[in-house]
Structure 1
């Protein structure tokens, strides 16, 4: 059982693409058996095939994080087919564009439902098992949009700010049960979700817009899904055994250093 996660079983939501796919693959490389969950049946089967093709252990689950029964089924499948559950990565999310006075209530509710309620339902489904075994690591994917004001994404920012607050609450409440909860807040990462958001915002000018965003990052580039995946490995592993309640920004320095000037 080599690697930082050898012998552990992990549930990763949103594993069919983007950050979730990168996290699932990196977890498998580091020795975890991974329950890959996504509502995209093709995407989640593809990542499972890729993991197995590289010698890793993975099982696919097709489900929606906004469904209580789907979340419960994902946990049950991990226990039944992979023999346990040690790490929960609540990562599934969707974009949400539009100024506050322009977005519809339906659009607001959809973004909050997936990005915040879906995180809660995923974690709630796993907690009875984690509490029962007296150990576990929960990793929540938020965003720097939940920490600083960014234009044109009020529902997304509200949801991700809620994920940050939920992570701190869970960390405090379940520390006596041996469960650690931490939050990753990525900056601009080149994923299908981010590209879709930039395409909605900038149309044919997407490449120029992404280039401008990259030059504003103190470290001089946009992030990759692997940047976030490596942070998720650390927070899911025993290497972070005395770390809980933290918000780890993976953003090239934007939040704490500010954008490059001049």
Structure 2
């Protein structure tokens, strides 16, 4: 079976909803044992049950990725019975605002989850990957890592850091058999997007959804499953020659929006 993950164990942060859920279910379908780390217990347990009901293997660990002690404890628990083969640093939060209306609390909150959370995940698994002389890391960046997006100052800052952390880790550990890449989605249709539109545009939700869709040159938002399929390829043995690379999946946003 192409892109098989049979016999592999994958940690997926933020794996209970949206893109993370799509990655969790896709990886489980391809044979991986999925360890979902999510702050939201309801989302995490629901996704685990969905996977188990389809004869997959999954476990849920409630976790705040900004808390290094929590991540270290969970990783230690997982490696008691399994190797860890894959880390997907997907957990993240968004913020709308330019530098003038981004306060220190906003900045700290995004730093703690989007940067520190990625750092914590990699810091915890890399020693195990080094012992195995193998391992794959995917960090979820964003098109905001590479191009200017209006009113996304703090978010862009954090996702730019994710991109450069990816390059650094890929360079530092290539001799240890560790591959590290990033994925940079444009706007993807997730429950977060629906909630954002409902909260901010309650009287014209359909119109705003259409407007946001049209900001992608391809004419629609991405689907979580499309991001998951790219992650699957990058974590499979078929992608064993790929490391230190960012993969935009953006409906043409970066190259065709000029």
TM-score using structure 1 length: 0.93
**Alignment coverage as a number of residue pairs:** 258
Q: Partner residue of 2:72?
A: 72
Q: Partner residue of 1:17?
A: 17
After superposition, what is the alpha-carbon deviation per residue over 1:55-98, rounded to whole angstroms, capped at 9, x for unaligned?
001111011100011111221232234x1100000000111112
Distance apart, 1:231 and its partner CA? 0.7
| In the alignment, structure 1 residue 7 sits paired with structure 2 residue 7 | yes
- Equivalent positions of 1:1-262 (< 5 A) are 4-81=4-81, 83-199=82-198, 202-258=201-257
**Counterparts of 2:172 and 2:36, CA distance in 1:** 27
**Counterparts of 2:51 and 2:98, CA distance in 1:** 40
Unaligned runs of at least 5 residues, structure 1: none
After superposition, what is the alpha-carbon deviation per residue over 1:93-143, rounded to whole angstroms, capped at 9, x for unaligned?
111112210121011110111011101111111111001110010000011
**Counterparts of 1:204 and 1:163, CA distance in 2:** 36
Distance apart, 1:241 and its partner CA? 0.2
**Counterparts of 1:162 and 1:198, CA distance in 2:** 27
**Counterparts of 2:211 and 2:2, CA distance in 1:** 41
**Counterparts of 1:87 and 1:104, CA distance in 2:** 35
Give the conservation status (yes or no) of the 8 Å contact 2:146–2:160. Answer: yes
SS of the aligned residue for 2:79 comes to helix
After superposition, what is the alpha-carbon deviation per residue over 1:148-198, rounded to whole angstroms, capped at 9, x for unaligned?
111111111100011001101111111011100000001100112333444
**Counterparts of 2:226 and 2:107, CA distance in 1:** 29
Distance apart, 1:220 and its partner CA? 2.1
Unaligned runs of at least 5 residues, structure 2: none
**Counterparts of 1:152 and 1:200, CA distance in 2:** 17
**Counterparts of 2:199 and 2:163, CA distance in 1:** 26
TM-score using structure 2 length: 0.95
